[in-house]
Amino acid sequence: MSIDTSRPFRPLRLALLTVSDTRTLAEDQSGDILEARIREAGHELVARELLRDDVAAIEAKLRAWIAEPVVEVVIVTGGTGVTGRDVTPEAMKAVWEKEIPGFGELFRWISFPKIGTSTIQSRACAGVANGTYLFAVPGSRNAVKDAWDEILVLQLDNRHRPCNFAELIPRLRES
């Protein structure tokens, strides 16, 4: 796997949602990390918000962003654990048309050497809805770094070989 520098980079337009009952946007270090990495990679952050752990509110925000042609990718951080308040995967599943199970599997595989069996508590997940990619990752600083640095930065770069999510965007709405 490598970056094919002979191909021009195509920046994507991303929306970032933090789900938390305990943080504000001003205290959202994980969101700050993701925002910085998104911009450093050359992509455009078109929206950033924080919502409480409320499945209806999260689902409504996802549907709104999915309906916006300008949003190509949504990353949600937080709400992916197993407690009663953790409802991000439920909101994601309510809106996606296709699940990308390999994302959560790969995320947990990457996490295992770092946090051991605790990775089993993560319900990181991904899917596609109306031509928009949806990714949900845990809200810890280390988790967002792992998800971005080891998966998303590559899969959202149209130059990544042998293949990537970015180059599929024009074909996501095909039936």
Q: Domains along the chain?
A: 9-168 (3.40.980.10)
Q: How far is CA 114 from the centre of its chain?
A: 20
Amino acid occupying residue 2:
S
The C-alpha atoms of residue 9 and residue 13 are separated, in whole angstroms, by: 13
SS3 137: strand
pLDDT single digits (tens) 67-83: 999 999 999 999 999 99
The C-alpha atoms of residue 39 and residue 62 are separated, in whole angstroms, by: 21
pLDDT single digits (tens) 5-59: 999 999 999 999 999 998 889 999 999 999 999 999 999 999 999 999 999 999 9
DSSP state of 126: E
Asked whether the whole model's pTM tops 0.85, one would answer yes
